[in-house]
Amino acid sequence: MREPGDLHALREMSARVGRNMLLVQGAGGNSSVKDDDVLWVKASGTWLSDANDKDIFVPVLLPAAREALADDDERIPLARPGPLRASIETSLHALLPHRVVLHVHAVNTIAWAARRDSRDAFAERLAGLAWRHLDYVHPGLPLARAVNEIVARETVDVLILGNHGLVVGAETCDQAEALVHDVETRLALPVRAMPAADEAALRRLCAGTDYRLPGDAECHGIATDPYSRAIATGGSLYPDHVVFLGPGLPTVDGREGLTTMLARAEANGLPAPVAALVPGLGAIIRKDASPGAEAMLSCLALVTSRLPLSAEISYLSGAHEQLLLNWDAERYRQQLTASRP
């Protein structure tokens, strides 16, 4: 199948965006370009940061993608057989009229989109843009159906997804990337200074266990800052947190607390928590944690440090968490991320 000339520009833009932790973390986010009746979209479980080095885009026939949306079919056949699946957000990319669509988990947008008191701020900060805000909707087909109701009535270039992220549409890759940066600049929030971690104490705590310190030292702020810790332990802010870290985050108080946490998980037939917070000391993560889990812990640090003390936080419901945990599409994405070097 002929690859469109714009695919090179899509790769270049996607790689730039994917390397920016403030916009994309791990396998999150997706991008696409339309070429006549073919949609080239990021494959599920691949990383935008790999766009220049790996073949992460797959072709989908636009009529087939739109028909799948109408039939509530989650699996969209590829126009060219291959080992990858199209992104779980393919239907969303297909129904938007823009030639280029870019979906990111931008931390300033998420910080606003995880609040119940953000609507007035959106109206003020996004004035002049063709934008709409949606309350949280389960990713994939439910989200695409909700967006379809909006685009059927009006032209929208910017979508703020509650507890999820940002979607923009444009004619070119450069315009889509610029629009993402424009929105993030408008929504920029100050970052709280985090108290220092006690890494020596954390290493003593982890000695002889299946836990270690996270690769990103900024993650410790989730545990050392009382407000960030309260947010992180209060529930789940966005889908990828649930998928890669599990619902919320537990806290442990020393070795006894760690032992109790593990015993409780075993008694309930659950795996050991992927990560945990040690109040006042820092964060710990399982030694076998995937790169996706590491990235999500970093994302949580970036988001919680931007939520002001006055924010009214909105969390995903338990029902939404269970939908994500039992979703085959997300299990597939976890498997791909777990095998990433």
Residue 294 has pLDDT above 90, yes or no: yes
Query: Considering 137, 158, 186, which residue would you say is the last residue of a domain?
Result: 186
Using CA atoms, how far residue 200 sits from 80, 159, 250, 276, 282, in Å, is 52, 44, 21, 17, 10
The reported pLDDT for the residue numbered 118 is 95
C-beta atoms surrounding 254 within 10 Å: 13
> Are 223 and 182 contained in the same domain?
no
Domain-ending residue, one of 186, 208, 242: 186
Same-domain check for residues 233 and 332: yes
Contacts of 8 (CB under 8 A, 6+ apart): none
Domain boundary among 153, 186, 219: 186
Indicate which CATH number applies to the domain containing 94: 3.40.225.10
Decide if 89 is inside a domain.
yes
Mean pLDDT of 269-273: 92
- Please check whether residue 135 lies inside any domain of the structure: yes
In a domain, 107, yes or no: yes
Alpha carbon distance 157, 98 (integer Å): 8
- Residue 328 counted as domain residue: yes
pLDDT at 326: 86
Q: Is 17 in the same domain as 129?
A: yes
Is the pLDDT at 38 greater than 90, yes or no? yes
What confidence tens digit (pLDDT) does each residue in 41-70 have? 999 999 999 999 999 999 999 998 888 888
pLDDT at 139: 93
Task: Judge whether residue 335 has pLDDT over 80.
Answer: no
For residue 321, what pLDDT is reported?
Answer: 95
Confidence of residue 219 (pLDDT cuts 50, 70, 90): very high
Query: Does the pLDDT value for residue 327 go beyond 80?
Result: no
215 and 174 inside one domain? no
Q: What pLDDT score was predicted for residue 339?
A: 57
Mark whether 214 and 283 lie in a shared domain: yes
Query: Over 90: is that where the pLDDT of 74 sits?
Result: no
Q: What is the dihedral of CA 23, 27, 31, 32, to 10 degrees?
A: 170
pLDDT value, residue 68: 84
List the beta bridge partners of residue 276.
Answer: 284
Same domain, 157 and 227: no
Same-domain pairing of 165 and 221 = no
Q: Is residue 193 part of a domain?
A: no
Do residues 31 and 56 lie in contact, with contact meaning Cβ atoms separated by under 8 Å? no
Does 296 fall in a domain? Answer: yes
- Where do the H-state alpha helices sit in the chain? 6-18, 62-70, 90-95, 107-113, 119-125, 141-151, 173-186, 199-206, 221-224, 226-234, 239-245, 254-267, 291-304, 318-325, 328-338
Q: Residue range 185-189: average pLDDT?
A: 98
Residue 332 has pLDDT above 50, yes or no: no
pLDDT at 71: 85
Range of the domain at 307: 199-338
How far apart CA 66 and CA 64 sit, in angstroms, is 5
- Has residue 1 been placed in a domain? no
Report whether 211 contacts 284 (CB < 8 A).
Answer: yes
Q: Which DSSP string corresponds to 227-247?
A: HHHHHHHH---SHHHHHHH-S
Do residue 260 and residue 162 come from a single domain?
no
- Reported as a single tens digit per residue, the pLDDT across 220-268 is 999 999 999 999 999 999 999 999 999 989 999 999 999 999 999 999 9
Q: Say what the pLDDT of residue 77 is.
A: 84
pTM: 0.94
CA distances from 295 to 18, 177, 244 (A): 12, 21, 9
75-124 pLDDT tens trace: 788 988 888 889 989 999 999 999 999 999 999 999 999 999 999 999 99
Q: Are residues 22 and 133 in the same domain?
A: yes
Residue, of 30 and 248, whose pLDDT is higher: 30
* Residues 134-152 pLDDT 10s: 999 999 999 999 999 999 9
Q: Does residue 246 sit in the same domain as residue 213? A: yes
Residue 146 and residue 263 in one domain? no
Q: Are residues 78 and 212 in the same domain?
A: no
Identity at 65, one-letter amino acid code: A
- What total number of domains does the chain contain? 2
